[in-house]
Structure 1
Amino acid sequence: MHLSQLMAKNDDRRGSWTPPIEPPGSVIVTTANESASNKQPANRAAVAPQSQARSEPALTATREQLPQTSGSEAALRQAIQQWSQAWSGQNMAPYLGMYASDFEPPKGLSRTSWVKQRTQRITSKKSIRHDIQNLTVQINANLATVRFTQIYQDERLRASDRKTMHWVWRQGQWQITRESTD
C-alpha cells in the first residue's frame, strides 16, 4: 500500500488523525505548517485541497534541506533500474560505477580481472536486454538485500535466473557489494 493510500485511509476518519504506518527504516518529514493544519476544520472537504497545495512546497524544501543518512527504498529501486539500464545499454562506466570499491567478485576473481571480464562480455554483444521481475527489497539501516528474477537476452542467449544482490548506502548513493545468481 502506498503512503498516499494510507493517508487517504486516515483522512476518512474524521476527527481522529493517526499517522500513516511506514515500513521500518522510513522517515516521515513534516513541517511546522503541517502540524498546525492537523486541527480539523468544520468543512474539511472544502479546505483540504487548498492546504495541500500550500504545504507541499514547504515539505519539498524541508526534505531537500535534511541530510540523508540512509538511503530510501525508492532510491534503492531507482539504483537497481539504473544498473539494469546501464547493462542493457552496454554503458560500462555507469554500470561499473554502481559497484562499491569493496565489491566482492564471484569465483574468487580479483576486482581488476572481474572488470576486464565483465567489460569484454558486455561490450562484445550486438545488443543486450535485461529485465527485472518479482523484485523484493529488505533494508536494514544502510544495508539492503534485493532478490529478483533476472531475464537476460542477447543475440545468442536467453536466460532467466534468480539473483540476490547486497547493497550499501555510502557517500549518498546505493552501491553493490555482493551479488549471486541461483
Structure 2
Amino acid sequence: MIKKTKLTIPMGVIILSVWLACFYPGNSSAASLPGALIRIPGNGKAIIVEKKSQMLYVYSEKKGIDSPIFQAPCSTGKNPGFKTRVGDKRTPEGVYFLKDEFEDRYLTPVYGKKAFPSDYPNFLDLRLGKQGSGIWIHGTDKILKPMDSNGCIVLENKNIIALSNYIHLDATPLIIVEQIDYASKNTLMRTRKKIDRFLEKWTKALAAQSYHTYLSFYDPSYLPNISWWEAWLINRDKAGAQPPEGVEILLENTGIYAQGGVIVVLCDMSLARNDGNKIYLGKRQFFIRQETTAPLIIGDFFQAKDKAFNSGEPPLLAASRMLFQDQSTHKLVVETVQQWMAAWSSKNMDKYARFYTNDFVCNGMGKTAWVKRKKRLARKYDYILVTGKNFKAFPTKDGYTVSFIQHYKSSGFATTGIKQLKLVRQAGEWKIFRENWKGK
C-alpha cells in the first residue's frame, strides 16, 4: 500500500510565483510592447526617445518590436516638461517625422557629424498653440550630458552616424515621450484593426460615396478643405462611365503611431483605376481621435506630395484628370504602338523612324544612331516579326506610358520580355520619347 504524503510549499515560494506571474505573465497578453508602435510599415523603422531615462531606441516590426534593434544614450532639453514656446529649452513630446539630413561639412561643430531636422511643431502642436521650431536630432563635439540641450535630441557622434542607417526621410517617425508606455500584443492588434477598418471606409467614401458621407469621418471641430469636391465628383463620374468601371483610393505602407489619445497615421496614397493602373500622389498624414464608438479625423493633409503635383492643385484632381481621360485617347496611344510594331515587322524603317521624337534616347543612343542600328538588323535578317499582348496605357504628367509583353522573332534571333514606351504629343501625333526593355 502506497502512503500518500502531503506536499507543503513554502510561503516565500508562493509569493515569488505570484510576483513573477504579475510581471512576466508568459502569454500574448503581456504588456511588453511599446504602446506607441501600433504598426511600423514593411521594412521601416521607428525611433522612440524616452526623456526620463535619456535614452533613444530604434524599433523594427520586421525584427519584432519586443526589443529595440538599436539604442543609445541621448540628451534632451535642460528644462523638463512639454515645449510650449521659443527658447524654453524643453524638448517637445509627440509623433514627428524627419525632413532633411545635413552632413558635418554643412554644420557648425556644436551639431556634430550629422543632423536631422524634425517637423515640430506638428498639426497637434499648432492646434494647441505651441510655438518654437528647430527641433533636431544631431551629434555633438562635446561630452554628452543628460538634459543638456536647448530642446534638440543630442547623441554622441558615433551614435548619430549609426542612427542615420535607420532613418528614411519623411517616413521614419520620431516619437518623443516622457516615459514609454507598454501595451500587450492583443491591445495593439485591436487598435490596428480598428484604424485599418476606419481608413478603408474613408477611402470608399472618397471613391464612391456622397459629400455628406465623406464628411462624417471628420470631427465637427475640424472642417477639411473640400473646395475640390465638385470637380472631383465630375472626374469620378467620368471614370465610372468608362470600362472597367470605378475608381479606387489606395493607402499603402501604412504606419500607425499613438500620441496620447490621438492616432497619427502616415501612408503612401495613390489613385487607381480598376484595371490596375495607378498614380502615386504622395505621403498622406492623418491625425485621428479615438472614440468609444468610432474614430474621427481631426486633421489630414499631404506631408509630402509627389513631384508631379507641386503646382498647387490638389493632387487628387490632377491625378484624376490624367488617369481618367477620354478612352479614345487611350485607344489612339495603343494603336500608335501597334502601328510602330507593324512598321518594324515589315522592315519599313523610314516609317519606323517617324514614330520617334528627334530627342529620343535609349541605351546611350540618340534617334539617328538608334535607327541606323535597326536598319542594319533589318538588312541582316530575312524576316522580322514583332507582336505584343496585355497592353496597359496610363497617362503621365506630359504624355502616356504604354507597357506590354513583346515577342520578337527574326530569322536569327527570338526573345520575349516586357516593353515600356513613353510617348509624348508632337505636331498632333503621338511619338516615342523613351524606350525600356526587360527580358524574361
Among candidates 85, 92, 101, match of residue 342 of structure 2? 85
> Cα offset for 1:135?
1.1
Distance across 2 between alignment mates of 1:119 and 1:157: 16
> Cα offset for 1:153?
0.5
Q: Do the aligned residues in 1 keep the contact of 2:420 with 2:435 (CA within 8 Å)?
A: yes
Structure with bigger strand share is: 2
> Cα offset for 1:98?
0.1
TM-score normalised by structure 1 residue count:
0.61
SS at match of 1:102: strand
Distance across 1 between alignment mates of 2:353 and 2:367: 11
Matched with 1:153 is: 409
Q: How does 1:16-165 map to 2 (within 5 A)?
A: 21-22=241-242, 24-26=324-326, 72-106=329-363, 108-140=364-396, 142-165=398-421
Distance across 1 between alignment mates of 2:414 and 2:374: 17
Q: Do the aligned residues in 2 keep the contact of 1:25 with 1:140 (CA within 8 Å)?
A: no
Q: Do the aligned residues in 2 keep the contact of 1:25 with 1:141 (CA within 8 Å)?
A: no
Distance across 2 between alignment mates of 1:86 and 1:111: 16
Tell me the amino acid that sits aligned with residue 92 of structure 1: M
Q: Do the aligned residues in 2 keep the contact of 1:130 with 1:150 (CA within 8 Å)?
A: yes
Q: Do the aligned residues in 1 keep the contact of 2:356 with 2:367 (CA within 8 Å)?
A: no
Distance 1:140 1:112, change over 3 A: closer
Tell me the amino acid that sits aligned with residue 431 of structure 2: Q
Distance 1:21 1:98, change over 3 A: same
- Equivalent residue pairs, number: 121
Distance 1:110 1:80, change over 3 A: closer
Among candidates 163, 169, 178, match of residue 425 of structure 2? 169
Question: C-alpha offsets along residues 108-145 of structure 1, whole Å, 9 cap, x if unaligned?
Answer: 12433222111101232111111101111112365011
Distance across 2 between alignment mates of 1:97 and 1:157: 25
Larger Rg over CA atoms: 2
Q: Do the aligned residues in 1 keep the contact of 2:357 with 2:367 (CA within 8 Å)?
A: no
Distance across 2 between alignment mates of 1:141 and 1:26: 15
TM-score normalised by structure 2 residue count:
0.26
Tell me the amino acid that sits aligned with residue 347 of structure 2: Q
Question: C-alpha offsets along residues 38-59 of structure 1, whole Å, 9 cap, x if unaligned?
Answer: xxxxxxxxxxxxxxxxxxxxxx
Distance across 2 between alignment mates of 1:178 and 1:148: 15
Distance across 2 between alignment mates of 1:93 and 1:112: 12
Distance across 1 between alignment mates of 2:366 and 2:413: 26
Matched with 1:37 is: none
SS at match of 2:359: coil
Distance across 2 between alignment mates of 1:123 and 1:87: 12
Distance across 2 between alignment mates of 1:123 and 1:91: 11
Tell me the amino acid that sits aligned with residue 415 of structure 2: A
Distance across 2 between alignment mates of 1:129 and 1:112: 23
Query: Which structure is higher in RCO with an 8 Å CA cutoff and minimum separation 6?
Result: 1
Tell me the amino acid that sits aligned with residue 73 of structure 1: H
Distance across 2 between alignment mates of 1:98 and 1:111: 10
Matched with 2:177 is: none
Distance across 2 between alignment mates of 1:83 and 1:155: 20
Q: CA RMSD in A?
A: 2.1
Q: Do the aligned residues in 1 keep the contact of 2:360 with 2:366 (CA within 8 Å)?
A: no
Tell me the amino acid that sits aligned with residue 241 of structure 2: I
Matched with 1:179 is: 435
Q: Do the aligned residues in 1 keep the contact of 2:362 with 2:436 (CA within 8 Å)?
A: no
Q: Do the aligned residues in 1 keep the contact of 2:362 with 2:434 (CA within 8 Å)?
A: yes
Distance 1:81 1:110, change over 3 A: closer
Q: Which runs of 5+ in 2 are unaligned?
A: 1-236, 243-322
Distance across 1 between alignment mates of 2:366 and 2:423: 19
Q: Do the aligned residues in 2 keep the contact of 1:135 with 1:146 (CA within 8 Å)?
A: yes
